A and B are shown apart, each in its own frame.
Chain A
Amino acid sequence: MKVWVPTILRSLLLLVLIAFLVSPDSFEPLLKPLVQPNAPAIYNQGSLLSLTLLHLRTVLIATLAATIIAVLLAILVTRPFGAEFLALSRSLVNIGQTFPPVAVLALAVPAVGFGEKPTLIALFLYGLLPIFENTLTALTNLPRSVMEAARGSGMTPFQRLIQVELPLSLPVVVAGIRLSVVISLATATIGSTVAAKTLGEVIIAGLQSNNLAFVLQGGLIVGALAVLIYDGLSAIEAMIARRTGAA
């Protein structure tokens, strides 16, 4: 395949997505065959655009918080002070990943009530794991020669962290964020079972009224968002990797 083909495909996907969100009604003929003759083919209980933005906002807030906490924790357990926690934190990440998202979501409800909050908590906890794991891998696998050069040139531990370790780890950290965002985008739809305003609402409305068009549009918007964000973050990751490689 030519190099530019994927780029064109992605731009097309982005254009179709924007067009669908701005003017969903013009796509009605495409979805009409999927529904009963008098059922609506386009989600009619709210604006798709605003649901998409709320969905993205939920994912963004959760991922941002998860990134900050996960990176800080990974830094902490790789310093001499926190070294005691390193092995434990690895097994905790391992155990944490066995908790199903629905369970986390449902268990958060008694603590914080229905709505956006339990979704944010579930997404935050889920988002933590890949970012923490990747940051940890990056920080523990830095090239020994570089670390020794940094130590030899008289850098303090803090300078080493800020000027050497973190910049070198950045591509792997971004890869972790990428995984975490894709998981969160899909998991956020389940948040609608506890009354969070996300695109899950569209899918669940479709499941309840046996409306395939609703399920399809909800699912495809989330899928398109995931593909586009995944590719965008991959590009950023490659860019950072090139820069650190060149520096």
Chain B
Amino acid sequence: MRVQFDKLGIVIALLAAYGALWASFATLKPNRIVQGQAEAMLQSLPAWAGWGLIGVLVLATAAALFRTSPWIKLVAAVAALAALTLSIGYAATFLTPAGNSYARVSPASGFWILLFAFALLAADAITRLDPPPGMRVLFLVLAAAAIGALLMSGSWNGLSIMKEYSGRADVFWVEAGKHVELALGSLFAAVLAGLPLGILCHRVAPLRDGVLNTLNLVQTIPSIALFGLLIAPLGWIAANVPGAAAIGIRGIGGAPAFVALFLYSLLPVVANTVVGLAGVPRAANDAARGIGMTGRQRLFKIEFPLALPVILTAIRIVLVQNIGMATIAALIGGGGFGVFVFQGIGQTAMDLVLLGAVPTVALAFASAVILDALIEMNSRVPNGARSA
């Protein structure tokens, strides 16, 4: 029997070899903002752990390299990722000189390359397994639980990013709350306003082009400019409309960010509602009319359920986009994870940047997975209806 290599496996093996052998694994810095000294994998870990990690990586690379079942590849990828994440925490404790509270240890390029290589293997295995939506969410929950357990166990506490966190744990959760509030709140408002607007545009054709073109124009204004432009009108409202200031409307802070995110979110929601409603098969509508349904019944029982997957797609786009854009709110005092990103950029403290960027990416990724699953679960019904 001829041994067959997996082409992606070759790419992963090359990446892993480069990451493990040539690139450095961890960086030791005398304090949080200076350039550090990069250490190779075997220098960053005690011998048993270093060789143990290399052993796991070699086995996982072998699983990637040969054509085997995707399940084996997935297990190998998860094992490699777990070994990597545990080792980097261990490297931090090992490298930090005893009693030195200024020294910082961060992951170096080799760690990131290895992480990328095996995440690629995991992504490929999951793509090949093509799991049903429920199982994808289960994978996500398991991964989140594993990361949560890792964080709780304290094995990462020596890492620089966790030191940045422990210094501002309270602020972190406050900003996290603001971030989610901004992203979800503006999405909620956009759905509340966008759905009726979309239905109206669908029913009243002359409105459609005007509304969609206006919303399109809003999208061309860069987010930082729109955030800034809303400061003045909201400041005016706060000063002149009684009660506005009491409910939190102010010129700077969360309010302009919220309104800007809301405005950006409207286009996808309205446009997809229009597209979704337009895609409802005429036969379905005729049949509904034939059995004597009123306009409202048709809307809620026929058109809306059939258009739901397209509308959910808009919600996915908006949510992922809002989670990313909410980082920019920090520039106008709106809070969110962006606070850490921009503080970190200002202080050239890259681990602080990571403290803001990593949760943002994780949040966006998780919501994309969950909404993709929701879309897939919901789109079965209309597909069946269309083919019937």
- Give the B-binding residues of A (Cβ under 8 A): 34, 82, 84-85, 87-88, 90-92, 94-95, 97-103, 106-107, 109-111, 182, 185-187, 189-190, 193-194, 199-200, 203-204, 206-207, 212, 215-216, 218-220, 222-223, 226-227, 230
Contacts and interface: CB of A to CB of B under 8 A. Distances in A.
B228 interface: yes
Contacts of B325: 100
B344 interface: yes
A103 B8 CA distance: 27
Interface in B141-177: none
A214 to B, nearest CB: 8
Contact of A216 (B229, B320, B354, B364): B229
A230 to B, nearest CB: 7
Contacts of A92: 120, 123
Contacts, number: 144
Nearest to B330: A102
A186 B221 CA distance: 7
Interface residues of B, number: 48
B222 interface: yes
Contacts of A189: 222-225
Contacts of A215: 225, 228-229, 231
Contacts of A199: 222
A230 B219 CA distance: 12
17 contacts: A84-B6, A88-B123, A98-B365, A99-B364, A102-B324, A102-B341, A103-B341, A107-B357, A185-B220, A185-B222, A186-B221, A207-B228, A215-B225, A216-B229, A219-B225, A222-B222, A222-B225
Contact of A100 (B128, B217, B231, B360): B360
A194 B350 CA distance: 12
Contacts of A94: 368, 372
Given A109-B345, A227-B220, A193 B365 contact: no
A200 to B, nearest CB: 6
Contacts of B219: 182
B370 to A, nearest CB: 12
B336 to A, nearest CB: 10
A203 B222 contact: yes
B45 interface: no
Given A85-B7, A107-B354, 19 more contacts: A88-B8, A88-B127, A94-B372, A97-B320, A99-B324, A100-B325, A102-B328, A102-B357, A103-B357, A107-B357, A109-B350, A110-B350, A186-B223, A189-B225, A194-B345, A207-B227, A207-B332, A219-B228, A227-B220
Instruction: Across the A-B interface, give the 10 residue pairs with the lowest CB-CB distance, nearest first.
Output: A219-B225, A100-B324, A215-B228, A226-B220, A103-B357, A186-B222, A189-B222, A98-B364, A110-B350, A102-B327
Contacts of A82: 7
A25 B69 CA distance: 68
A222 B222 CA distance: 7
B338 interface: yes
B210 to A, nearest CB: 10
Contacts of B223: 186, 189-190
B62 to A, nearest CB: 18
Contact of A107 (B225, B227, B353): B353
B249 interface: no
Contacts of B328: 102, 190
A230 B213 CA distance: 13
Contacts of B127: 87-88, 90-91
Contact of A223 (B6, B221, B342, B372): B221
Contacts of B341: 102-103, 106
B331 interface: yes
A203 to B, nearest CB: 5
A207 B220 contact: no
A109 B120 CA distance: 23
B72 interface: no
B353 A109 contact: yes
A107 B341 CA distance: 9
Contact of A85 (B8, B109, B228, B231): B8
Nearest to B365: A98
B356 interface: yes
B367 to A, nearest CB: 8
A223 B220 contact: yes
Interface string B211-254: 00000010111111111110110000000000000000000000
